[in-house]
Amino acid sequence: MASENEIRAVVRRVVEELERGGERPALSDSGSSSVDRSDRVAVGADHGGYALKEKLVSHLRDQGVSVEDCGTHNAEAVDYPEIAHAVARLVAAGECGVGVIVDGAGIGSCMAANKVPGVRAALCYDVSSARNSREHNHANVLTLGAGLIGDGLARQILDTWLATPWGPGRHARRVELITGVERQYSRSAASGS
């Protein structure tokens, strides 16, 4: 059962959205969101996501967000695991606050990014999954499938994802459990067992 504070937070978010007239959430200039204009965003795409990546990079820069473009820089075929690794590495190292990866379906890049310790990549296909991935799972990398969603929805997902803060309490505790699993297998791999 949800706590009183969690219910109040949901009600507050719904009221704020209604007061905005249902508009997309904007990136925050305050500390209320875990991603703000001062965070650098690592962005990458394979050839299937190149056109959408270019639009999202422009969208972010138009909002004053600093973007680290990890490629690809044209529509020629490239291997998505290399792009996903480049984005995930920057996020895991703390060089960028969050990352965004676009490929044809978003699935392969999500799988590749999640191999990097410290990365919690989430494939999002609507605004609800974007909000949930941040609030409940503390996602720090967003993956999108350019072949499955349109440009407008991709922008809405990105804006919502960036504007949603990480949830406290049970969410933070569960993310720590995920991190514990990651540490367990990182030690096993390092020791050769």
Q: Assess whether pLDDT exceeds 80 at residue 141.
A: yes
| Secondary structure element (H or E) that encloses residue 92, with its range | helix 80-92
Give the whole-angstrom CA distance, residue 133 versus residue 77.
29
CB–CB of 155/59 below 8 Å? yes
User: Which residue, among 156, 166, 49, 146, has the nearest Cα to 97 in the 3D structure?
Assistant: 166
Alpha-carbon distance values, 181 to 21, 66, 177, 191 (Å): 42, 32, 6, 16
Whether domain 35-191 has CATH 3.40.640.10 = no
Nearest to 48 by CA among 88, 102, 86, 2: 102
For the stretch 146-184, pLDDT in tens is: 999 999 999 999 999 999 999 888 999 999 999 999 999
Give the 3-state secondary structure of residue 174: helix
Residue 48 has pLDDT above 80, yes or no: yes
Q: Please indicate whether residue 171 is annotated as part of the active site.
A: no
In this predicted model, what pLDDT tens digit does every residue of 94-125 receive, in sequence order? 999 999 999 999 999 999 999 999 999 999 99
Q: Find the catalytic residue in 47, 59, 73, 136.
A: 136
Cβ atoms < 10 Å from Cβ of 63? 12
Mean pLDDT of 17-45: 58
Q: List the domain boundaries for the chain.
A: 35-191
